[in-house]
Amino acid sequence: MRWTRCAALPMMLLLTACDPGSSEVVVKTICPRINEYDAATQDKALAELQALPKDSALRLFVGDYKQLRDQIRVCRSRAAAAVGK
């Protein structure tokens, strides 16, 4: 009796694993939102960035932020292309 219980479980798992209706995988890409800034705010930020000393740590942070925004744009374009397939 014990042997039949042990054999039944793997058989049930194998049978349910072969269901073709459950083999569909759905992947949804979620990209962070990018804040948009008006031209006046961008001009002010650029002037402030240019006024910083050349060795300012804030220059590094702004560069990292720009790189992150670029990566989000790529993420969004890839997600849009995947939806269009």
Encoded amino acid at 19, one letter: D
**Residue 57 placed within a domain:** yes
**Residue 40 placed within a domain:** yes
**Residue 5 placed within a domain:** no
Q: Which residue has the higher pLDDT, 58 or 7?
A: 58
3-state SS record for 11-67: HHHHHHHCCHHHCCCCCCCCCCCCCCCCHHHHHHHHHHHHHCCCCCHHHHHHHHHHH
**Residue 76 placed within a domain:** yes
**Residue 56 placed within a domain:** yes
**Residue 54 placed within a domain:** yes
**Residue 20 placed within a domain:** no
Averaged confidence pLDDT in the chain: 83
**Residue 15 placed within a domain:** no
pLDDT digits (tens, 9 = 90+) for 53-84: 999 999 999 999 999 999 999 999 988 888 77
* Number of domains forming the structure of the chain: 1
Domain extent at residue 57: 26-84
What confidence score (pLDDT) does residue 16 get? Answer: 59
